[in-house]
């Protein structure tokens, strides 16, 4: 499966940053993480810090899967409204999920605080109603978020027009959001893992996996034997291939990035990411070098060749929508790309074991628009699973919710 098409900006900008070895020996270790994207990198960094002997195995180059294509808006706002989650799982669970995402943004800020150049920056997030019907729903959403003290303000049409130049029936403005370069972050994290004694292999696939009650045995594509007490499958949207049960649907999402613009031209967009309530949505945020990164136009295409053929047309549609929203904004379109994107029915991720593979094989399916925030949450959550400890999100973010 080809996870991305076109020219994902991070890979173009950073190139191949670090070379890691390919697997050329048998391995016997405590924890193997299959996948060297942002999820595997965050997990490897976390577990190494917690004293685990960790080996990461990546079939492509590090970060070269979906993480290279991500637009990497970090939000506490899940694609599924808090009111909808509350209806489905109860208000307390909805609060736990939203609060965990809010905490994840600040945790990630801390995790990357020693990396000078991963383009991490705190942002505001403006979520505007695309139509009157959505504005009504969003008012309920705003009220529930305020009830639980989430950072949020309501902007009426006049305030929205005056402050952002956007004509819409209302918006939720929040001060808790951030942006990052996910590809560079994955590289930097895995370099740190290597310096802290972990092993990282790229261009090395896990081709088979067999779990028993005492451990897991895997074979690499090169025929090497890999033994581990625990395995985490952090293989992004390819993780589904380890399961017979279908737990998510693959879609495609598209993005383009402009040439750098001045802070004067970008105005409030410099530190405010913008997204809308319509589906498929459009969203945008800036980069540290003043580019506007625009994404959305998701569709149900799951065939890389078909996605590839659509990239330019989708980028043009996205650019037209930016022009309609901000008629004064002049920009030159730079790179455009598309990427595979998996979604669960309720917008929540899956972390932990699945009954098909037993208790020593854990999944890190950070699926949904908040994938990177979910990956951060997954670090402590999977540690709780492995160490058989309590965690408030263990049940809600597990496969058990599919059978409840
Ligand atoms: C266009 C787009 C926009 C997005 N925007 C956002 C956003 O704004 N905010 C946000 O939070 N999230 C966003 N996401 C989602 C986010 O990018 C993902 O959640 C995240 O990148 C997934 O990282 P990952 O490490 O789980 O997957 P990946 O980066 O795909 O890494 C998984 C790795 O596993 C490897 N692998 C698979 N099978 C094997 C095997 N058998 N052996 C060894 N290695 C294997 C793959 O090669 C791959 O590199 C977006 C995604 C896309 C595509």
**Is 341 touching ligand 1 by the criterion CB < 6 Å?**
yes
Helices 82-89 and 132-147: angle between axes, nearest 10 degrees: 70
Q: Where is 314: in which H helix or E strand?
A: helix 304-325
Q: Is the pLDDT of residue 2 over 80?
A: no
Query: What are the structure tokens assigned to 32, written together?
Result: 């193997």
- What pLDDT, on the 0 to 100 scale, is given for residue 403? 85
DSSP 21: B
**pLDDT tens-digit readout, 22-46:** 999 999 999 999 999 999 999 999 9
Distance 95 CA to ligand 1 centre (A): 26
Which residue minimizes the CA distance to atom 49 of ligand 1? 65
Query: What are the structure tokens assigned to 126, written together?
Result: 């403006």
> pLDDT exceeding 70 applies to what percent of the chain?
99
Tokens 């058989």 identify what position? Answer: 388
297 CB neighbour count, 10 Å cutoff:
21
**Is 59 touching ligand 1 by the criterion CB < 6 Å?**
yes
Residues 6+ apart with CB under 8 A from 48: 54, 192, 193, 196, 197, 198
Q: Name the pairing type of β-strands 54-57 and 27-34.
A: parallel
Distance 39 CA to ligand 1 centre (A): 7
Q: Domains in the chain, start-ordered, CATH in brackets? A: 4-12+19-69+183-247+347-402 (3.50.50.60), 122-175+250-343 (3.30.9.10)
Residue 305 — pLDDT band, cuts 50, 70, 90?
confident
**pLDDT tens-digit readout, 200-230:** 999 999 999 999 999 999 999 999 999 999 9
**Is 252 touching ligand 1 by the criterion CB < 6 Å?**
no
**Is 206 touching ligand 1 by the criterion CB < 6 Å?**
yes
Residues 6+ apart with CB under 8 A from 23: 57, 201, 204, 220, 222, 224, 226
Which residue minimizes the CA distance to atom 33 of ligand 1? 35
Output the average pLDDT for the chain.
96
- What pLDDT, on the 0 to 100 scale, is given for residue 340? 87
Cβ atoms of 319 and 328 closer than 8 Å: no
Q: Is the pLDDT of residue 1 over 80?
A: no
Distance from C-alpha of 269 to C-alpha of 277, rounded to nearest angstrom: 18
26 CB neighbour count, 10 Å cutoff:
11
What average pLDDT does the segment 96-121 reach? 97
Query: What are the structure tokens assigned to 93, written together?
Result: 């669970």
**pLDDT tens-digit readout, 375-401:** 999 999 999 999 999 999 999 999 999
**Is 37 touching ligand 1 by the criterion CB < 6 Å?**
yes
Which atom of ligand 1 is found nearest the CA of 68?
29
Coil/strand/helix, residue 288: coil
Q: Is 235 exposed, middle or buried (0-12, 13-18, 19+ CB in 10 A)?
A: buried
Handedness of CA 99, 56, 191, 61 (dihedral sign): negative
Residues 6+ apart with CB under 8 A from 3: 65, 66, 69, 236, 237, 238, 304, 339, 340
Coil/strand/helix, residue 124: strand
Residues 6+ apart with CB under 8 A from 51: none
Distance 68 CA to ligand 1 centre (A): 8
Coil/strand/helix, residue 122: strand
Distance from C-alpha of 376 to C-alpha of 76, rounded to nearest angstrom: 12
Distance 99 CA to ligand 1 centre (A): 23
Q: Which of 282, 273, 268 is nearest to 316 (CA)?
A: 282
- What pLDDT, on the 0 to 100 scale, is given for residue 329? 96
Distance from C-alpha of 109 to C-alpha of 385, rounded to nearest angstrom: 24
For the whole model, what pTM was predicted?
Answer: 0.98
What average pLDDT does the segment 253-280 reach? 96
Among 22, 66, 199, say which to mutate for ligand 1: greatest number of ligand atoms within 8 Å of CB: 66
Cβ atoms of 334 and 257 closer than 8 Å: yes
Distance 175 CA to ligand 1 centre (A): 26
Query: What are the structure tokens assigned to 106, written together?
Result: 């600040």
Poorest-confidence range of 45-49, 248-252, 300-304? Answer: 300-304
**Is 394 touching ligand 1 by the criterion CB < 6 Å?**
no
Altogether, the residues listed in the chain come to a count of 404
- What pLDDT, on the 0 to 100 scale, is given for residue 6? 75
**pLDDT tens-digit readout, 326-377:** 999 999 999 999 998 899 999 999 999 999 999 999 999 999 889 999 999 9
**Is 236 touching ligand 1 by the criterion CB < 6 Å?**
yes
């Amino acid at each position: 499966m080809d996870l991305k098409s076109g020219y994902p900006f991070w890979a173009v900008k950073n190139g191949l940053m670090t070379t890691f070895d390919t697997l050329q020996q048998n391995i016997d270790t405590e924890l193997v993480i299959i996948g060297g994207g942002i999820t595997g990198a965050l997990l490897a960094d976390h577990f190494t810090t917690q004293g685990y002997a960790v080996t990461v195995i990546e079939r492509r180059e590090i970060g070269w899967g979906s993480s290279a294509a991500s637009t990497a808006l970090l939000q506490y706002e899940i694609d599924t409204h808090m009111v909808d989650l509350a209806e489905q799982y109860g208000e307390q669970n909805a609060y736990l999920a939203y609060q965990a995402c809010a905490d994840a943004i600040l945790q990630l800020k801390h995790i990357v605080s020693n990396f000078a150049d991963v383009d991490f920056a705190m942002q505001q997030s403006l979520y505007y109603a695309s139509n009157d019907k959505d504005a009504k729903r969003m008012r309920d959403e705003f009220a529930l978020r305020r009830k639980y003290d989430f950072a949020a303000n309501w902007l009426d049409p006049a305030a929205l027009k005056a402050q952002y130049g956007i004509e819409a029936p209302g918006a939720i403005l929040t001060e808790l959001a951030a942006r990052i370069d996910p590809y560079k972050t994955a590289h930097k994290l895995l370099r740190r893992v290597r310096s802290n004694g972990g092993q990282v292999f790229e261009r090395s696939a896990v081709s088979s996996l067999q779990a028993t009650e005492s451990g897991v045995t895997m074979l690499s594509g090169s025929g090497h034997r890999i033994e581990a007490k625990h395995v985490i499958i952090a293989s992004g949207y390819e993780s589904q291939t380890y399961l017979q049960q279908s737990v998510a649907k693959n879609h495609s999402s598209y993005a383009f990035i402009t040439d750098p613009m001045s802070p004067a031209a970008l105005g409030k967009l410099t530190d405010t990411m913008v997204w809308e309530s319509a589906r498929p949505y459009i969203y945008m945020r800036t980069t540290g070098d003043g580019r506007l990164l625009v994404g959305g136009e998701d569709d149900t295409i799951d065939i890389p060749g078909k996605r590839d053929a659509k990239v330019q047309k989708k980028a043009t549609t996205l650019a037209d929508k930016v022009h309609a929203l901000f008629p004064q904004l002049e920009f030159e379109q730079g790179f455009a790309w598309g990427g595979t994107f998996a979604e669960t029915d309720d917008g929540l991720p899956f972390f932990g074991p699945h009954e098909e593979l037993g208790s020593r094989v854990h999944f890190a399916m950070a699926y949904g628009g908040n994938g990177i925030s979910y990956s951060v949450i997954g670090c402590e959550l999977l540690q709780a699973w492995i160490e058989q400890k309590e965690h408030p999100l263990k049940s809600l973010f597990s496969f058990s919710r599919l059978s409840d």
